[in-house]
Amino acid sequence: MGLVKIEDALHEEARKASTVMCRSINAQAEFWMKMGMIAEANPTLCFNDIVKMQLAAAQSDPSDETAAA
């Protein structure tokens, strides 16, 4: 795990979003970073398409123990 420095205003936005989404501040920031990386690599995909793609990948992941349950 590493440390990432961000502006106070962005930290506050992550704090607010994390409360609404029932995530930790770190999990919210990680979600935003992951989605942003995917969006940059796939500029033609909308947010909903990225979410669908990630859900499909999670369901087909054999290392995910909850998928087999």
Query: Each residue of 24-68: pLDDT tens digit?
Result: 999 999 999 999 999 999 999 999 999 999 999 999 866 655 544
Whether 68 is covered by a domain: the verdict is no
Whether 2 is covered by a domain: the verdict is no
Name the percent of the chain lying above pLDDT 90: 80
H helix intervals, 1-69: 8-20, 25-41, 47-59, 65-68
Domain assignment of residue 36, given as a range: 8-62
Whether 1 is covered by a domain: the verdict is no
Query: Each residue of 11-33: pLDDT tens digit?
Result: 999 999 999 999 999 999 999 99
Whether 43 is covered by a domain: the verdict is yes
Whether 50 is covered by a domain: the verdict is yes
Whether 3 is covered by a domain: the verdict is no
Whether 31 is covered by a domain: the verdict is yes
Write down the pLDDT at residue 1.
78
Write down the pLDDT at residue 64.
59
Number of domains in the chain: 1
Write down the pLDDT at residue 48.
97
Give the integer Cα–Cα distance in Å for 47 and 52. Answer: 9
